[in-house]
Amino acid sequence: MMEPIVKARGLVKRFGTVTALNGADFDLYPGEVLAVIGDNGAGKSSLIKCFAGAHSADDGSMWVNGEEVTFASTHSARDHGIETVFQTLAVSPALDIASNMFLGRELRKKGFMGTVLRQLDKKGMRLQAAEQLKSLGISTLQDITQAVETLSGGQRQAVAVARAAAFGSQVIILDEPTAALGVRESGKVLDLIKDLKNRGLTVVLISHNMPQVYEVADRIHVQRLGKRAAVVTPKSASMNDAVGIMTGAIDVPESEQQLSPV
The rounded distance, in Å, linking the Cα atoms of 201 and 184 is 24
Contacts of 225 (CB under 8 A, 6+ apart): 22, 42, 43, 248
From residue 51 to residue 80, the character string flagging contacts with other proteins as x (rule: CB under 8 A) and all else as - is -x-x------------------xxx--x--
* Residue 160: CB minimum distance to other proteins, A: 10
The strand order across the sheet containing 67-69 reads 18-28, 6-15, 59-64, 67-69
Nearer to other proteins, 156 or 188 (CB): 156
| Segment 15 to 34, residues that bind other proteins, using CB under 8 A | none
Q: Of residues 126, 156, 188, 221, which one binds other proteins by CB under 8 A? A: 126
Q: Of residues 22, 58, 90, 241, which one binds other proteins by CB under 8 A? A: 90
The rounded distance, in Å, linking the Cα atoms of 136 and 232 is 29
Q: Nearest Cα to 86, choosing from 21, 169, 155, 172? A: 172
179 binds other proteins (CB under 8 A): no
| Segment 155 to 174, residues that bind other proteins, using CB under 8 A | 166-168
Q: Nearest Cα to 50, choosing from 32, 30, 23, 29? A: 23
Residues that bind other proteins (CB under 8 A): 52, 54, 73-75, 78, 84, 86, 88-95, 99, 103-106, 108, 117-120, 122, 126-128, 130-132, 134, 139, 141-145, 147, 149, 166-168
